[in-house]
């Protein structure tokens, strides 16, 4: 049988998800979902890299799961789970921690940005977080990891760590391996970065990324925002000096609105520019607001409906955790074996 390649990704529930998460990540997940063996996580362990209020974290976790399902990631057709419920992630993460070097982690640009903002209390987890991400990916032998542009460097690190471990350690195969040749410990994953919308910018500061927890209230559109809030935020989006609607780096505000429209409609940014010839910034803002409302409304309304039945979400979580652990355990066992941990042979 021809096994489908594995596609895996996740989002941190540090807050409610944003339009950036939807365009940069969930949209690609939906596009690729049928072609691959899909695995999607709510990566709550990663959330602790910034201080969390426990009740808000729990709420954001349920809301993330509800958004995944509402957006079309049917738990019967993909593996959906919450990371903290699958202990293999933390277990493999420790091992990856011992394989990655301080120098490598020091080069992560996201650490540099976030640690500058964290002031004098920088959690050690913010520094080591990319090794947990590597463990998330490698545990499932993922082939493709669809993410926004900001995660590319972390996937490159994951690849480096996987290649290093494959070269250093030979898997010991138990009798269950039979006559099959030895597989390397890990599949080397590839990032999948969408061609349009890999970096949606903050509406108030369009030279910064739209972030769940780093954007101002009006800078980010959240997937649980009301239609009115979405309209207000887009109509107040910071634009640029001048009047001409152009897709260019020296007009980051306009470029961002065009990118959002292009990603949500499938049109090419240059075709949109041609259609706006002679029109004003106001037209672009009003149209973008309408397109964003139309994209978010059905997902938000369905997610709200799902959130009324926590019992059903809990069933999805429990089933996902069981299936994820079943898939992750054989990789962890091979790694333990290859590293020389004494494992009783069953
Ligand atoms: P996180 O939670 O910051 O973001 C989740 C996903 O959304 C994308 N994204 C964006 N895309 C376009 N424009 C934006 N403004 C924008 N903001 C966020 C991110 O690129 C990402 O794809 N470390 C990861 C989560 C993670 C993960 C994994 C991902 C943990 N383990 C394993 C893939 C595989 C993170 O913090 O993403």
Q: Is residue 219 part of a domain?
A: no
Q: Is residue 136 part of a domain?
A: yes
Could you tell me if 63 and 141 lie in one domain? Answer: yes
Ligand 1 mean position, distance from CA 28 (Å):
12
Q: Whose CA is nearest to atom 37 of ligand 1?
A: 11
Could you tell me if 67 and 180 lie in one domain? Answer: yes
Q: Is residue 334 part of a domain?
A: yes
State which residues form the domain around 334: 6-193+311-339
Supply the mean pLDDT for the chain: 94
pLDDT at 66: 98
Could you tell me if 153 and 270 lie in one domain? Answer: no
pLDDT at 30: 95
pLDDT at 179: 54
- What are 6-47's pLDDT values in tens digits? 999 999 999 899 999 999 999 999 999 899 999 999 999 999
Could you tell me if 279 and 179 lie in one domain? Answer: no
pLDDT exceeds cutoff 80 at 164 = yes
Annotated active-site residue 212? The verdict is: yes
Residue 151 CA, closest ligand 1 atom number: 20
End-to-end CA distance of the chain: 28
Q: Whose CA is nearest to atom 11 of ligand 1?
A: 24
Pocket test for ligand 1, best of 6, 9, 10, 215 (most atoms within 8 A of CB): 10
- What are 284-322's pLDDT values in tens digits? 999 999 999 999 999 999 999 999 999 999 999 999 999
pLDDT at 177: 52
pLDDT at 77: 95
Q: Is residue 210 part of a domain?
A: no
Report residues whose beta carbon is within 6 angstroms of any ligand 1 atom: 8-12, 20-21, 23-25, 43, 46, 133, 136-137, 145, 147-148, 150-151, 154, 198-200, 209-210
- For position 83, which CATH number holds? 3.40.50.620
| Measured torsion, CA atoms of residues 319, 57, 200, 196, in degrees rounded to the nearest 10 | -10
Could you tell me if 323 and 298 lie in one domain? Answer: no
Residue range 148-152: average pLDDT? 96
Could you tell me if 256 and 234 lie in one domain? Answer: yes
Question: What would the DSSP string read from start to end of 235-289?
Answer: HT----SSS-----TT-HHHHHHHHHHHHHH---HHHHHHHTTT--HHHHHHHHH
Catalytic residue among 209, 233, 251, 285: 209
Q: Is residue 209 part of a domain?
A: no
Ligand 1 mean position, distance from CA 268 (Å):
24
Least confident of 68-72, 90-94, 117-121, 217-221: 117-121
pLDDT at 178: 54
Ligand 1 mean position, distance from CA 265 (Å):
22
pTM of the model as a whole: 0.95
- What are 165-215's pLDDT values in tens digits? 999 998 876 555 555 667 899 999 999 999 999 999 999 999 999 998 888
**Angle of CA points 134, 140, 145, to nearest 5°:** 60
pLDDT exceeds cutoff 80 at 48 = yes
| Measured torsion, CA atoms of residues 136, 320, 148, 221, in degrees rounded to the nearest 10 | -140
pLDDT at 89: 98
Residue 154 CA, closest ligand 1 atom number: 23
Pocket test for ligand 1, best of 13, 38, 43 (most atoms within 8 A of CB): 43
Q: Is residue 107 part of a domain?
A: yes
pLDDT at 346: 67
pLDDT at 114: 86
pLDDT at 175: 52
Could you tell me if 73 and 166 lie in one domain? Answer: yes
Could you tell me if 186 and 334 lie in one domain? Answer: yes
Domain count, the chain: 2
Sorting pLDDT into bands at 50, 70 and 90, what band is 345?
A: confident
Q: Is residue 261 part of a domain?
A: yes
pLDDT exceeds cutoff 80 at 51 = yes
Could you tell me if 37 and 160 lie in one domain? Answer: yes
pLDDT exceeds cutoff 90 at 147 = yes
Catalytic residue among 212, 233, 251, 285: 212
Could you tell me if 300 and 277 lie in one domain? Answer: yes
pLDDT at 3: 79
Three-state DSSP string of 18-84: EHHHHHHHHHHHHHHCCCCEEEEEECHHHHCCCCCCHHHHHHHHHHHHHHHHHHCCCCCCCEEEEHH
Annotated active-site residue 228? The verdict is: no
Could you tell me if 269 and 332 lie in one domain? Answer: no
- For position 253, which CATH number holds? 1.10.240.10
In the chain, the percentage of residues whose pLDDT exceeds 70 is: 97
Q: Is residue 26 part of a domain?
A: yes
Could you tell me if 45 and 162 lie in one domain? Answer: yes
Ligand 1 mean position, distance from CA 50 (Å):
15
């Amino acid at each position: 049988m021809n096994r489908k390649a594995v596609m895996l990704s996740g989002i941190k529930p540090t807050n409610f998800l944003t339009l950036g998460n939807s365009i940069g990540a969930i949209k690609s997940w939906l596009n690729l979902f049928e072609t691959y063996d899909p695995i999607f996580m709510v990566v709550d362990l990663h959330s602790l890299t910034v201080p969390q209020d426990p009740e808000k974290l729990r709420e954001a976790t349920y809301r993330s799961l509800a958004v995944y399902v509402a957006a079309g990631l049917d738990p019967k057709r993909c593996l959906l789970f919450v990371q903290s419920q699958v202990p293999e992630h933390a277990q493999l993460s420790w091992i990856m921690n011992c394989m990655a070097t301080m120098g490598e982690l020091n080069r992560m640009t996201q650490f540099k940005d976030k640690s500058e903002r964290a002031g004098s209390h920088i959690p050690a987890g913010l520094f080591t977080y990319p090794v947990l991400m590597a463990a998330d990916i490698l545990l499932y032998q993922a082939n493709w990891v669809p993410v926004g542009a900001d995660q590319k460097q972390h996937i490159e690190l994951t690849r480096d760590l996987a290649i290093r471990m494959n070269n250093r350690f030979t898997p010991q195969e138990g009798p269950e391996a039979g006559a099959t040749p030895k597989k390397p410990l890990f599949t080397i994953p590839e990032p999948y970065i969408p061609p349009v919308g890999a970096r949606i910018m903050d509406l108030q500061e369009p030279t910064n990324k739209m972030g769940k927890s780093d954007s101002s209230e009006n800078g980010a559109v959240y997937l649980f925002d009301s239609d009115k809030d979405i309209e207000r935020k887009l109509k107040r989006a910071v634009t640029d000096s001048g009047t001409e609607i152009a897709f260019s780096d020296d007009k980051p505000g306009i470029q961002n609105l065009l990118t959002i429209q292009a990603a949500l409609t499938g049109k090419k940014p240059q075709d949109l520019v041609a259609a706006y010839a002679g029109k004003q910034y106001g037209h672009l803002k009003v149209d973008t607001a309408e397109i964003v409302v139309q994209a978010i409304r059905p997902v938000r309304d369905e997610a709200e409906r799902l959130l009324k039945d926590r019992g059903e979400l809990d069933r999805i979580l429990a089933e996902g955790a069981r299936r994820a652990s079943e898939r992750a355990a054989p990789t962890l066992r091979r790694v333990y074996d290859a590293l020389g941990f004494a494992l009783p042979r069953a």
